[in-house]
A and B are shown apart, each in its own frame.
Chain A
Amino acid sequence: MSDEELAKDLGLVSALTIGIGTMVGAGIFVLPGVAASTAGPVVVVSFVVGGLIALVNALSVSELGTAMPKAGGGYYYVNRALGPLFGSIAGLGDWIGLAFASAFYSIGFGQYLATLVPLPEVLFLSEVQVGALVAGAVFVGVNYVGAKETGGVQTVIVTLLLGILTLFAVQGWLSFDLATLLGEGGAAPFGYGAILPGTALVFVSFLGYAKIATVAEELKNPGRNLPLAIVGSVVIVTVLYAVLVSIMLGVVPWPELSQSAPLTQATQVAFPGGFAGLAVTVVTLGALLATASSANASILASARINFAMGRDRIVSNWLNEIHPSYATPYRSILVTGAVIVVFIAALGRDIEVLAKAASVLHLVVYALMNVALVVFRETDPEYDPAFRVPLYPLTPALGFVLSLGLLAFVGQTELLLSGVFVLVAVVWYVVYARRQTTRRGLLGQYVLERGDDLPPSVVNAAATVAPDGSGRDDTPTTMVALSNPRTERALVTLGAALADHDGGRLLATHVIQVPDQTSLEAAAEQRDRISRTSAGLLEDARADAERLGVPVETRTVLSHQGLAEVFDFARDHEVDRLVMGNGGTRLAGGRVEGRLDELTHDLPCDVLVLDDGAFDPSEVLVPTAGGHSSDLSAEVARALHETVGARIAVLHVADDVDEGEAFLSEWAADHDLADAELIVETGDVEAAIGAAAESRTLVLVGATERGLLSRVVRGSLRLSVLDELDSNVLLAERPRKRTLRERLFA
């Protein structure tokens, strides 16, 4: 079995038990009493309706999950499809929704714990709240330390629970009395209108299935197992709820059913005297196990949502650090734990509020997920889910309508409470995340790319909420990629001059290609080279940069793939300008050309390549024919002029001297180089550059067409004049960024 296969160790049964284990805790053990008191016996129908709504959404989650088996679940899909504004709402909604749910499960745990052991009341906290707080703290603690569980545990817990419930069902069926179920008021003492409010209350019992999607990356064969587990667990628990709640209400009349520990009460009545005590203890332990496993799964899932949000920079990645000893995302767990504790303490007296708030936030996420599904199908040509919802687009439309529709029956307090969190998410996005994240949603891209065909108001709205990532970069960063001590000083001096000019910092990196274990000879060759060069290289760079008065950081970049990883590093560190030597570009050697083209056509930032040798910027020649990358060479020339007193000469080769002079003086003025020496020549371009370069120390060439760098890398650039020059050559290439304006009007 390969390592990759070992990383995926959740089979169908494991995945099913995650779903079932999360869900049964609430539906059977906690809610029946409260729900029955608000709806009467038709609450059974409320459960079935809840199951149907969950089932429609489960189909959508299955499709999205098989298309993108990534940590994060709902948040991930919404963010990808609808962009980071809705991503923030879905992420925060899912996260806080899970915290509400965990608080709810903890209260359920406290309710059953209170029937077993006497609990004190502390300050404003009821005994149940005290029990719930202790339980919540334990759940968080266990996840912080990351108790060593093995695959069996979850399966054993769920099997045990199903065993206990079956036992109750059988014994309960024997004591079942239809007259008790229907009671005095008939099936619907509050009218059939109570069904949907009942559903709104019990919907929290179905919040487990989507958690399977948050761990999709750990599933074996997700294309098959994910839909089976998600849809399967919803169907199984819906049947369980319908059967068991019916039996419960046929054993204990609904007005008398306990609000806090209904199953204990029903067991007491159903089992004959001698066994009742034992049965009650077993059922109570089952309830504790069930609520604990629900809370546990929710806390685990919330850490994955944090992780996915951190990866997209919607929250700080600080949250997702892994504990060095316990290997758990301890910060995320602590923050989630703190939220749970606050919810238990502040809202724990009314379990309905916790249950409904959890449902509302999840329903909002489900609604967004259904929209995301449609966006993926309609706009993403690469979207290829292994499982497709039946009856598209009816199913996602139905999921959207049912999810939002159910909100109408929730009640004002919970809607307001959840609304506050949605608002917080929007504010969070505008104030923080919009400037951090750069990934645009598919929908936003789609709208902006079709700016001409869509109403301007739509385009403007899309542009207004688009992420700008502007807050990520406080000081401009000039990165110098060093691989050879011979060119260290030249590159650092150049980098420092540029960093100095824009008041930025220098990031000196030593690029080491990690020896490949398959080619020992090559590694042995490199061994000498690296040990000779590495020791002092970064220290030299640091000393040189500090001598030039530029703040400097040093890093080692280990690279298996050379240039690609240098570019990735530049991208990750939000570098504005990358300076490297000719040798640095050879890091790409031996790569497939397609990959290289892709690479050099997708520069992470401005790239400057200095050919080997010294860096002497005293007399700089800037040949220009206008164009995109000559902006960069002008910028660099100006920086060298202002920081190290370079004398700049600009050369333009034209057919006609007058026209050429007109062009050049305008170009120089545009680029703040009016005080440079302006040279206009006619005739052969190469000869003119060669002649002008003779008295110069550095020739600064802007890539006038895309891909100059790629041709340098491949060695196919045959501007013979550049090779023959005695002076140094600095190539400058600027990535072509399509601005919003270009996107709209190009």
Chain B
Amino acid sequence: MRAFSHLAVPVANADDAVATVDALGPHLRHVDRITLVHVIEKGGGVVDKAPMAKRRADAEAFLAVAAARIDGTVPTGTRIAFGTDVAETIVKTAIDVGATAVAFHPRGGSRLLRLLTGDTATRLVSDPDLPIVSLPPTDDGTGPDPSPAGRREVDS
């Protein structure tokens, strides 16, 4: 089995879904299977930051945006996972679904933003249990299917 035959791909929000799939675009033909993962961060005993039903509905929308953009070029599954540590939960879910690697698109952002949001990218690549691929952004911003379809669903 090749190292990247089954990728777990975290998706954080609608824009990230588009950016991630676009970044993944050039590599799709080397991939046999993708599992898109959205992690809903839990407090583990405190009231959540946002209503859970809203987070779930959003999660489905984000995953759908990414799946639409992959558009069947690679067999794609989706997972919504819950955990107090986003990076850890991504890896744990990846192992659960039998992924051979995690491929993600760093969302960047200022130092302050990363501090406030926990800087998942850094923690993902530190001491991983699976190969982690950090995808460079594409310059032209086009993915495998630049049809307006994927983007449009974002505002629905």
Give the interface of A toward B (CB within 8 A): 3, 6-7, 9-11, 13-14, 18, 70-71, 143, 145-146, 148-155, 215, 217-218, 297, 300-301, 303-304, 307-308, 311, 320, 322, 324-329, 510, 512, 514-517, 520, 523-524, 526-527, 529-531, 534-536, 538-539, 553-556, 558, 572-573
Contacts and interface: CB of A to CB of B under 8 A. Distances in A.
Given A6-B81, A6-B83, A538-B148, 16 more contacts: A3-B81, A9-B43, A10-B45, A149-B46, A151-B46, A215-B47, A307-B51, A327-B41, A329-B50, A515-B72, A524-B75, A539-B147, A554-B148, A554-B149, A556-B153, A558-B153
Contacts of B81: 3, 6
A599 B74 CA distance: 31
Nearest to B79: A3
Contact of A555 (B45, B113, B153): B153
Contacts of A218: 47-48, 52
B58 A322 contact: yes
Contacts of A152: 45
Given A307-B53, A556-B153, A153 B82 contact: no
Given A3-B82, A71-B53, A322-B54, A9 B71 contact: no
B27 interface: no
A661 to B, nearest CB: 50
A329 B51 contact: yes
A556 B68 contact: yes
Contacts of B79: 3
Given A10-B45, A154-B45, A527 B50 contact: no
Nearest to B42: A9
B50 A322 contact: yes
Contacts of B12: 324
B52 A530 contact: no
Contacts of B78: 514, 517
B87 interface: no
Interface of B: 12-16, 33, 35, 40-56, 58, 64, 67-68, 71-84, 97, 107, 109, 113, 116-118, 145, 147-150, 152-153, 156
B72 A530 contact: yes
Closest 7 pairs between A and B when the two form their complex, measured CB to CB: A151-B45, A517-B77, A530-B72, A556-B149, A523-B75, A146-B49, A6-B82
A471 B74 CA distance: 42
Nearest to B71: A534
A546 to B, nearest CB: 14
Contacts of B56: 7
A558 B68 contact: yes
Contacts of A516: 77
Contacts of B77: 515-517
A9 B68 contact: no
Contacts of A13: 45
Nearest to A558: B64
Contact of B67 (A514, A539, A554): A514
B63 to A, nearest CB: 9
Contacts of A553: 152
Contacts of A304: 51
Given A6-B83, A524-B75, A71 B52 contact: yes
B50 A328 contact: yes
A300 B43 contact: no
A148 B15 contact: no
A520 B116 CA distance: 40
Contacts of A320: 51, 54
19 contacts: A150-B43, A151-B44, A154-B45, A215-B48, A217-B53, A218-B52, A301-B47, A304-B51, A308-B51, A311-B53, A322-B54, A325-B109, A329-B54, A524-B75, A538-B147, A539-B148, A554-B149, A555-B152, A558-B67
B92 to A, nearest CB: 10
A324 B38 CA distance: 13
A514 B76 contact: yes
B147 A530 contact: no
Nearest to A534: B71
B43 A303 contact: no
Given A3-B82, A324-B13, A325-B117, A555 B75 contact: no
A7 B153 contact: no
A555 B35 contact: no
Given A7-B40, A7-B82, A307-B53, A326 B117 contact: yes
A574 to B, nearest CB: 12
A69 to B, nearest CB: 10
Contact of A303 (B14, B41, B50, B83): B50
Contacts of A297: 47
Contacts of A515: 72, 75-77
B54 A307 contact: yes
Contact of B84 (A150, A300, A311, A526): A150
